[in-house]
Amino acid sequence: MSSVIVDIKNLKREFRMGVETVKALNDVSFAINAGEFVTIMGSSGSGKTTMLNILGCLDKPTDGQYMLDGINIGQMAKNELAKLRNQKLGFVFQSYNLLARTTAVENVELPLLYNNKFSAKQRREKAIKALEAVKLSDRINHLPNQLSGGQQQRVAIARALVNDPVMILADEATGNLDSRTSYEIMMLMQELNNDHGKTIVFVTHEPDIALFSKRTITLKDGKLLKDYINTNVQSARQMLESLPAISEILTPAS
């Protein structure tokens, strides 16, 4: 039996907008086990961003329970949440959020700077290892503006991996990328999931991205609409190979 990473029971999140109360999440329950690759889908206003914020320990539920790796989030103070984000989670954002004029390896080191356990030497070693895992070991001293969008996102993924998190949270991580680069990123995600056993939660509104995950949770109006296991997982590698090669596109038909 695999261990439970996320355990959400009757989760509610309400926002006060003046006199009105908006129920962004209304009684949602699900669990995610270690090694799963889950996409959370939903149109805008469905509550998926709120769900991501709560999963990422950036926000706390109004009611209900959220256990992350056996720890109850509801009762935690701000600083304890920060520590949890630092040691248990890895974030990948739509807009990469790399520090400008800072080399790839320094960007990847960042989460470890907020953890006193690691020496400068250990930080550098772990960062280089993470960059190797995303196949960027030849770009460690490049600055973000010297990297393509896909490469920048891979640096961001390396940054999410560097602290060995129990779960990687991706927020529209392919939203800024063209389809070829998106497939490359998804291929990397599938590799991390299959070969390294990383638990991945991917929030997206693009249905074709969900095809690469093993399970899809769909939210609508703050409620769980669908939760199904994808029996026919697409391989991003195959998709990538089926795309016409760039040389084919550029070669004029004779």
Q: Which residues bind other proteins (CB under 8 A)?
A: 53, 56, 58-59, 78-79, 82-83, 85-87, 91, 93, 97, 99-102, 106, 110-111, 113-116, 159, 163
We find the least distance from the C-beta atom of residue 54 to other proteins, in angstroms, to be: 10
Residue 137 DSSP code: G
User: How far, in Å, CA of 106 to CA of 7, rounded?
Assistant: 34
| Nearer to other proteins (CB atom), residue 169 or residue 210 | 169
| Nearer to other proteins (CB atom), residue 76 or residue 240 | 76
We find the least distance from the C-beta atom of residue 160 to other proteins, in angstroms, to be: 8
Q: How many CB atoms lie within 10 A of CB 16?
A: 9
| Nearer to other proteins (CB atom), residue 58 or residue 233 | 58
| Nearer to other proteins (CB atom), residue 44 or residue 116 | 116
We find the least distance from the C-beta atom of residue 161 to other proteins, in angstroms, to be: 12
Which two structure tokens, joined as six digits, stand for 54? Answer: 């709560």
We find the least distance from the C-beta atom of residue 234 to other proteins, in angstroms, to be: 30
We find the least distance from the C-beta atom of residue 86 to other proteins, in angstroms, to be: 2
Which two structure tokens, joined as six digits, stand for 88? Answer: 């248990």
Q: What is the dihedral of CA 50, 56, 60, 61, to 10 degrees?
A: 50
We find the least distance from the C-beta atom of residue 101 to other proteins, in angstroms, to be: 4
CB neighbour burial string for 161-190, b if at least 16 within 10 angstroms, e if fewer: bbbebbbbbbbbbbbbbeeebbbbbbbbbb
| Nearer to other proteins (CB atom), residue 37 or residue 91 | 91
| Nearer to other proteins (CB atom), residue 61 or residue 111 | 111
User: How far, in Å, CA of 72 to CA of 60, rounded?
Assistant: 11
102: left (phi over 0), alpha (psi -120 to 50) or beta: beta
Cross-strand partners of 216: 39, 228
